[in-house]
Amino acid sequence: MTKSNSVNSLEELEKILKSKIAVLLYFNTISCSVGESLEPKVKNLLINNFPKVNFYTIDLNFSPKVAAKYSAFVEPTIIVFFEGKETIRKSRNIGIYELQEAIERPYKLIFE
């Protein structure tokens, strides 16, 4: 089940990436209306199609070190990690169908 967790420190994120097989990081700010409207769609995509992907939000305003380390300077930015490696990166204009297609192949290779 995909639930929303927020990450606030690099140390916390490093632990998550080491302990979870599949992680989606959602970089955003509260003031970004595009990001706010896209977030529930991304969550639903994971719940319905990729339940083993863990969803984490990172607020660019509160976690500038995390954003800098992962070069996430535009909002929203989505980075998907499989087995600790960055596999997919999407920024700004993100289509749900496009994101689904990008996640599908590595997800099936690992989990099916």
- What is the domain-level CATH number for residue 78? 3.40.30.10
- The boundaries of the domain holding residue 73 are 5-111
Q: What is the pLDDT of residues 29-86, one digit of tens each?
A: 888 777 788 999 999 999 999 999 999 999 998 989 999 999 998 889 999 999 999 9
pLDDT the model gives residue 8: 84
Number of domains the chain is built from: 1
Angle of helix 96-111 relative to helix 33-49, nearest 10 degrees? Answer: 40
Amino acid identity of residue 26, one-letter, is Y
For 61, what's the count of Cα atoms within 13 Å in the CB-facing half-sphere?
5
Query: For strand 77-82 and strand 22-28, is the pairing parallel, antiparallel, or unpaired?
Result: antiparallel
Cβ–Cβ contacts within 10 Å for residue 63, how many? 22
In the predicted structure, residue 98 carries a pLDDT above the cut 80: yes
Q: What is the pTM of this model?
A: 0.93
